[in-house]
């Protein structure tokens, strides 16, 4: 009757709740639409025609931190921008992750000077560092896949 | 944070300075906004720095009367990188990668502006082949910059598909960057005295592909936008500025030409043998968002025209000056020439020395006059570097452009002046 007949004999898949939730989280990750500098242009390329981030279910970038769960810090963070960035991170609902895209966001890059925060991990906890100045879109996608692996392996307890 | 010293004068709608969250005092705020804002008659609203249509991290303090903009005060500095100061501590060669990162949509224009200044200061002759290749790369860079402008400008106004088309075409130009320099964006390909190396053979195929494909794609954009009534509704008559005002505010590039002033550095002060090529400078008349749009669209065509001419007449020869005091010797020479080895060693450790003096050299980048003021002090590092960033000057009249328009128009106006915050803040 009903559903079983329509679906046929699909068998049963058993999994743990943790794995199911982790899988679901990677498949509906909404990045924050937040560009800072040069890396933001490569982030745009990643979304656009050739590299097409929507293959990973992530083309929907939200401009509001309230609706997003991944912050890609794309570019150099100046001392004036740092409090704003932290404010945005605080506004994002749990669970949330951060990718430091590019050398400037990871460690200050070529700008070892008075104006630039030497690595965004001084302000927010970073999950994945993506190297490059700026990283190629493939590199960013690789970083995102690494993050997905990490998210799938996360225990439920972490965000409970 | 602010300290409020004066008590508000009217009821509960009155503006408190804490709400504005600017690092200024109430007295300073009074100079920026109209007296009506302080009584709560008009509304102060914050826009940015995290706003998708401010093209980066521009922050605006808007004073609104209903939906009409009374004042629009930009707050810049959220991307201040200290590039000028950092460049003082680097040799002339090592400062080039920093220039890539000022206006990151037109890295090659910045390279040329800086290297041209160094060449002027030291007195280096650039071989003709290098000059022609520079011209080709300059025009590709202009197209690169304009493509991102068109895509994001249209996206801001609501035409999503244009963005995807523009980024598709931009990849063709990035492929060329990658072929010549090895990097997609931050090329550092242009060096004092010429180019890093000669272009690979695939360069000509890639440029030819752009020349073949691009005119067709350009028609597509025009079909989507130029006569689109919705596009015209959002752009015609918006953000007007007269020719006198545009000059007075120091606007350059398509923003100035949109107001009807025929000023282009390529024509006025030809560099890199731009005087060898035939091209026209598109000039608008109304000085509104639509005219600036038309100017840039026509510049695509002119860029293609210049590239065709340069490719056809490209001379053979070296791409780097043979002055060994500034240009590194070829690798094979180092194996048997003591002198070359010394030059190589001196260049990569100490760098070449520039004489004392101050020079200014400007190029026409996609956004306007990109100039570099360089002050040498006889050593291998500059005493002072200043970038005359076109975005910074084009941003200045924003209040004049936006006043009296609707809140939604501010997005179109910011798009049309084509600012890059890396260029504004440096």
- Please answer yes or no on whether B98 and A110 come within 8 Å at the CB atom: yes
CA distance B125 to chain A (A): 30
Query: Nearest 5°: phi and psi at B202?
Result: -65, -20
pTM score? 0.89
CA distance B65 to chain A (A): 25
Residue B73 and residue B399 in contact, taking contact as beta carbons nearer than 8 Å: yes
This model of the complex carries an ipTM of 0.85
What are the per-10-residue average pLDDT scores of chain A (160 residues)?
68 83 86 86 88 81 86 89 89 90 89 89 92 90 92 82
Q: Which of B311, B362, B317 is nearest to B132 (CA)?
A: B311
* Cα-Cα-Cα-Cα dihedral sign, residues B348, B350, B351, B352: negative
Q: Which of A111, A105, A107 is nearest to A140 (CA)?
A: A105
- Please answer yes or no on whether B49 and A76 come within 8 Å at the CB atom: no
User: Which residues in chain B come in under a pLDDT of 50?
Assistant: 1-11, 13
- Confidence (pLDDT) at B135: 93
Q: Which of B350, B327, B341, B234 is nearest to B289 (CA)?
A: B234
- Confidence (pLDDT) at B4: 44
3-state helix, strand, coil in chain A (%, to 5): 45, 10, 45
Query: Nearest 5°: phi and psi at A18?
Result: -55, -45
Q: How far apart are CA B143 and CA A71, in angstroms?
A: 31
Q: How far apart are CA B197 and CA B191, in angstroms?
A: 9
Contacts of B45 (CB under 8 A, 6+ apart): B61, B62, B63, B64
- Confidence (pLDDT) at B50: 81
Q: C-alpha distances in angstroms, A59 versus A55, A138, A152?
A: 8, 15, 20
- Confidence (pLDDT) at B21: 62
- Please answer yes or no on whether A111 and B86 come within 8 Å at the CB atom: yes
Q: How far apart are CA B153 and CA B290, in angstroms?
A: 11
Q: How far apart are CA A159 and CA B373, in angstroms?
A: 53
Nearest to A36 among B57, B77, B86 (CB): B57
Residue B392 and residue B162 in contact, taking contact as beta carbons nearer than 8 Å: no
What count of residues does chain A have?
160
Q: How far apart are CA B413 and CA B418, in angstroms?
A: 9
- Confidence (pLDDT) at B27: 78
Q: What digits encode the pLDDT tens for the residues B331-341?
A: 888 889 898 89
- Please answer yes or no on whether A116 and B171 come within 8 Å at the CB atom: no
Q: What is the DSSP letter of B396?
A: T
The domains located in chain B, with CATH, are 90-425 (1.10.645.10)
- Please answer yes or no on whether A75 and B79 come within 8 Å at the CB atom: yes
- Confidence (pLDDT) at B178: 92
Neighbours of B244 (CB within 10 A): 10
Q: Which of B150, B148, B281 is nearest to B221 (CA)?
A: B150
Longest dimension (CA), chain A: 71
Residue B358 and residue B375 in contact, taking contact as beta carbons nearer than 8 Å: yes
- Please answer yes or no on whether B82 and A35 come within 8 Å at the CB atom: no
Q: How far apart are CA B168 and CA B225, in angstroms?
A: 17
Residue of chain B whose alpha carbon sits nearest to that of A78: B79
CA distance A160 to chain B (A): 29
Q: What digits encode the pLDDT tens for the residues B303-335?
A: 999 999 999 999 998 899 888 888 888 888 888
Nearest to B78 among A49, A65, A80 (CB): A80
User: With contacts defined as CB-CB under 8 Å, which chain A residues touch B164?
Assistant: 48-49
- Please answer yes or no on whether B97 and A110 come within 8 Å at the CB atom: yes
């Amino acid at each position: 009757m009903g559903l079983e007949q329509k679906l046929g004999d699909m068998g049963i898949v058993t999994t743990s709740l943790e794995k199911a939730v982790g899988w679901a989280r990677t498949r509906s990750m909404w990045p924050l639409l937040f560009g800072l500098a040069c890396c933001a242009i490569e982030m745009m390329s990643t979304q656009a025609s050739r590299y097409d981030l929507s293959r990973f279910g992530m083309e929907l970038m939200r401009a509001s931190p309230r609706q997003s769960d991944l912050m890609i810090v794309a570019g150099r963070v100046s001392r004036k921008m740092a409090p704003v960035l932290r404010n945005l991170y605080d506004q994002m609902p749990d669970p949330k992750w951060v990718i430091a895209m590019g050398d400037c966001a990871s460690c200050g890059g070529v700008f070892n000077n008075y104006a630039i925060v030497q690595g965004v991990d001084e302000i927010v906890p970073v999950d994945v560092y993506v190297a490059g100045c700026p990283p190629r879109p493939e590199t960013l996608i690789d970083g995102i896949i690494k993050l997905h692996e990490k998210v799938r392996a996360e225990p439920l307890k972490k965000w409970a | 944070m602010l300290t409020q010293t004066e008590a508000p004068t009217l009821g509960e709608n009155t503006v408190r300075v804490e709400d504005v969250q600017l690092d200024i005092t109430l007295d300073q705020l009074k100079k920026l906004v109209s007296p009506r804002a302080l009584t709560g008659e008009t509304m102060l609203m914050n826009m940015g720095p995290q706003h998708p249509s401010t093209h980066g991290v521009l922050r605006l303090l808007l004073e609104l009367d209903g939906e009409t903009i009374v004042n629009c005060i930009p707050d810049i500095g959220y991307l201040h990188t200290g590039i000028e100061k950092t460049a003082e501590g680097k040799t002339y060669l090592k400062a080039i990668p920093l220039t890539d990162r000022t206006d990151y949509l037109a890295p090659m224009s910045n390279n040329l502006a800086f290297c041209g200044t160094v060449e002027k200061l030291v007195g280096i002759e650039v071989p003709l082949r290098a000059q022609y290749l520079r011209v080709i790369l300059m025009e590709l860079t202009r197209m690169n910059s304009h493509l991102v402008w068109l895509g994001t400008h249209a996206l801001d106004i609501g035409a999503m598909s244009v963005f995807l088309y523009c980024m598709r075409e931009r990849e063709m130009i990035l492929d060329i960057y990658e072929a010549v320099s090895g990097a997609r964006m931050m090329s550092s390909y242009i060096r004092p005295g010429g180019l890093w190396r000669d272009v690979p053979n695939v360069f000509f195929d890639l440029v030819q592909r752009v020349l073949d494909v691009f005119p067709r794609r350009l028609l597509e954009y025009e079909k989507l936008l130029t006569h689109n009534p919705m596009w015209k509704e959002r752009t015609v008559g918006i953000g007007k500025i007269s020719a006198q005002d545009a000059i007075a505010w120091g606007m350059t590039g398509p923003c100035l030409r949109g107001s009807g002033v025929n000023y282009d550095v390529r024509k006025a002060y030809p560099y890199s043998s731009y005087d060898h090529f035939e091209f026209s400078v598109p000039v608008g008349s109304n000085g509104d968002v639509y005219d600036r749009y038309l100017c840039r669209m026509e510049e695509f065509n002119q860029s293609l025209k210049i590239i065709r001419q340069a490719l056809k007449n490209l001379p053979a020869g070296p791409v780097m000056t043979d002055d060994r005091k500034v240009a590194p010797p070829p690798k094979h020479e180092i194996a048997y020439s003591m002198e070359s080895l010394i030059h190589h060693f001196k260049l990569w450790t100490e760098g070449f020395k520039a004489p004392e003096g101050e020079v200014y050299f400007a190029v026409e980048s996609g956004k306007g006059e990109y100039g570099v003021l360089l002050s040498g002090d006889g050593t291998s590092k500059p005493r002072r570097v200043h970038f005359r960033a076109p975005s910074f000057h084009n941003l200045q009249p924003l209040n004049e452009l936006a006043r009296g328009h609707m809140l939604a128009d501010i997005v179109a106006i910011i798009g049309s002046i084509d600012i890059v915050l890396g260029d504004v803040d440096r």
